[in-house]
Structure 1
Amino acid sequence: MPKLLLCLLLLPGLAHAEASRIISLAPHITEILFAIGAGDQVVGVDEASDYPEAATELPKIANYRSLNLERILALKPDLVVAWQSAQSLQVAPLVQLGIRVEYSEPKRLEDFGDELLRFGRLTGNQQQAQQVAEHYNRTLHALRQRYRDTAPVKVFYQLSDMPLMSASQHTWMGQAVALCGGDSITANSPTPYPQIDPEFVLAQDPEVILAESPQAMQRWQAWPALTAVSQKQLFTIDVDTLHRFSPRTPGGIATLCRLLELAREHQPNTD
């Protein structure tokens, strides 16, 4: 009996076929699929999937709050890819209906190359996925080598203004700051995305404050003695490349590293 079961499991018809009608439920998933050459296999995306431009033309079947199950079923997907920590409960009805659901939630910058390869296997685009993964890994390695011995820069990474939130060292953004030689004032937070008081930031006196827009950092102008303010180092960042784990992430990290290099120019010379 064990041999018979093994033979059955090895039959090609019983293995998962390469997906041809894919639904993506998160922007980073959509970017991955298009980057590895599976864009033509995507039949539906979430409302926040705005890159590449071709993704904006696809049916919108979900937002950050809910899924439109009726529209999803009408598209007859053979694969739904979801963001596990945020959407596992939302996709439970699809699993119960027998629709194949895979999850994407890489935790570390180093894991993303493997994630690209996994998507290649799921979609039958192994060759292009391999090329994208190799480019990602090379670029990430080059950035680590370039900035590994740089002087630390004290950073406040502002995720949101109301409420005031940041990111720990275990998040994608926290890892990016560390790679660039940044010393995040919330790196050791026990929660991934801590909500903090302005007084904490003032006490830490960061050299650099990062946020998605100048308007989001307007409050800090009320404290001209704050180092980041006095040195005019309130820098805007591209949240799409830093908050989404995608093949564009190394480009976002490179830009972040260049901003911290500007801050190092204002540091006192210790030679």
Structure 2
Amino acid sequence: MVTLKAVATLVLAGLCQTALGSVCATDDRDRQVCLEQSAQRIAALSPGATELVYASGAGDKVVAVVAYSDYPPAAKKVASVGSHTRLDLERLVALQPDLVIGWVTGNPQAQLAALDELGIPIFYIEPRSFDGVSSTIERLATLAGTEDEGFAEARRFREGIDELVARYRDADPVPVFYQVWDEPLMTVNNQHLIGKVISLCGGTNVFGDLERLVPRISDEAVLAADPEAILAGGMGEENRQWLDRWAAFPQLAATQQDNLYFVPPSLIQRPTPRLLQGSRLFCEKLDEARAHRTSSADAEPGQP
């Protein structure tokens, strides 16, 4: 059986992570990562990282991905090296990557430390803002030598977000609960990127002030907050089952006003350019909630 150390020995000659390299970028751990030349064999260790590398124009340089790296479709044909929480290191190293794109809080730190000890350059990412998404695309494009395509995509994303900011700057606020997971029940606070989408669209996150980025909550907490709109992803891109939970509570304002909305999770829960599409959809749902206010008022002109 070929050992990790033996495979690494074959790879080390082609790897470099030194400040003397000619291609450099600063990652989301504030580390300067430098390569002697543009990356040619890239391993992306989360589905979001995979999307971002393709968005940067370097999709044809991706030699390894992890489970659920399903976008763009071409990514499905790339060799998988486990999941983002458990990597097959021997398989990964055997693919001879000259750049690994790691997830700051999502990948196993001990395994990434092992890659680092082997001299394989690791560029850590974790965009937590709209500008962070576009900046990540630009930095990846810099490392891959695909600046023309990557910087154009980053500009398209920035301009799209700016258009939404201008459109919804003065929108009537809508109290919103976003469900990010089912069991245990979880949401996001205002510091989370999804929390920023809520704010962008003129929503008010009813759990925005909670301390944890992705806090656990209870059904009782949602009932007490009584959001005007509830949005959720689900187990799959077309599974609205999570919303059935809230349809069972007719006392909720969101249920009464028919403001239970599904948003495909990959459009809103991955910090990639598709977040622009997800944000537009999110904003449209809150526009529907606002329209339901008008419909209700028209139906009951004598009510306060």
Task: Tell me the CA shift for residue 112 of structure 1.
Answer: 1.9
Task: Tell me the CA shift for residue 215 of structure 1.
Answer: 1.0
Who is 1:74 aligned against? 94
Q: Are residues 1:215 and 2:236 paired? A: no
Give the match's secondary structure for 2:278. Answer: helix
Task: Tell me the CA shift for residue 214 of structure 1.
Answer: 2.5
Q: Are residues 1:84 and 2:104 paired? A: yes
Task: Tell me the CA shift for residue 9 of structure 1.
Answer: 6.5
Segment drifting more, 235-244 vs 80-89: 80-89
Hey, what's the Cα distance between the residues in 2 that align with 1:111 and 1:248?
14
Decide whether aligned partners of structure 1 residues 9 and 150 sit closer, same or farther in structure 2, where only a CA change above 3 A counts.
closer
Task: Tell me the CA shift for residue 157 of structure 1.
Answer: 0.3
Give, as a single letter, the amino acid of the residue that structure 2 aligns with 1:157.
Y
Conserved? CA contact 1:161–1:217, under 8 Å: no
Decide whether aligned partners of structure 1 residues 81 and 15 sit closer, same or farther in structure 2, where only a CA change above 3 A counts.
closer
Give matches, 1:228-267, under 5 Å: 228-267=254-293
Who is 2:147 aligned against? 126
Decide whether aligned partners of structure 1 residues 11 and 261 sit closer, same or farther in structure 2, where only a CA change above 3 A counts.
closer
Give, as a single letter, the amino acid of the residue that structure 1 aligns with 2:60.
D
Unpaired runs of 5+ in structure 1? 1-7
Give, as a single letter, the amino acid of the residue that structure 1 aligns with 2:165.
R
2:137 to 112, 116, 119: 116
Q: Are residues 1:175 and 2:196 paired? A: yes
Hey, what's the Cα distance between the residues in 2 that align with 1:96 and 1:28?
25
Task: Tell me the CA shift for residue 108 of structure 1.
Answer: 1.1
Give the match's secondary structure for 2:120. Answer: coil
Task: Tell me the CA shift for residue 206 of structure 1.
Answer: 0.7
Q: Are residues 1:34 and 2:34 paired? A: no
Who is 1:43 aligned against? 63
Conserved? CA contact 2:89–2:111, under 8 Å: no
Task: Tell me the CA shift for residue 64 of structure 1.
Answer: 3.1
Give the match's secondary structure for 2:64. Answer: strand
Give the match's secondary structure for 2:105. Answer: helix
Give the match's secondary structure for 2:101. Answer: strand
Who is 2:9 aligned against? none
Give, as a single letter, the amino acid of the residue that structure 2 aligns with 1:258.
E
Task: Tell me the CA shift for residue 90 of structure 1.
Answer: 2.7
Give matches, 1:162-201, under 5 Å: 162-201=183-222
Task: Tell me the CA shift for residue 45 of structure 1.
Answer: 0.3
Any idea what the Cα deviations from partners look like across 1:160-180, whole Å, max 9, x if unmatched?
A: 121111000111111101100
Decide whether aligned partners of structure 1 residues 256 and 225 sit closer, same or farther in structure 2, where only a CA change above 3 A counts.
same
Who is 2:44 aligned against? 24
Task: Tell me the CA shift for residue 89 of structure 1.
Answer: 3.2
Any idea what the Cα deviations from partners look like across 1:38-80, whole Å, max 9, x if unmatched?
A: 1111001011100011100111002032110110111011111
TM-score by length of 2: 0.82
4+ runs of 1 displaced by more than 6 Å? none
Task: Tell me the CA shift for residue 245 of structure 1.
Answer: 0.8
Task: Tell me the CA shift for residue 84 of structure 1.
Answer: 1.0
Hey, what's the Cα distance between the residues in 1 that align with 2:90 and 2:69?
20
Give, as a single letter, the amino acid of the residue that structure 1 aligns with 2:249.
W
Hey, what's the Cα distance between the residues in 2 that align with 1:9 and 1:91?
20
Who is 2:122 aligned against? 101
Conserved? CA contact 2:21–2:36, under 8 Å: no
Hey, what's the Cα distance between the residues in 2 that align with 1:58 and 1:158?
31
TM-score by length of 1: 0.92
Task: Tell me the CA shift for residue 258 of structure 1.
Answer: 0.3
Identity, % of aligned positions: 37
Who is 2:170 aligned against? 149
Give the match's secondary structure for 2:187. Answer: coil
Hey, what's the Cα distance between the residues in 2 that align with 1:233 and 1:9?
53
Task: Tell me the CA shift for residue 11 of structure 1.
Answer: 7.4
Number of residue pairs the alignment of both structures matches? 262
Unpaired runs of 5+ in structure 2? 1-17, 24-33, 234-238, 298-304
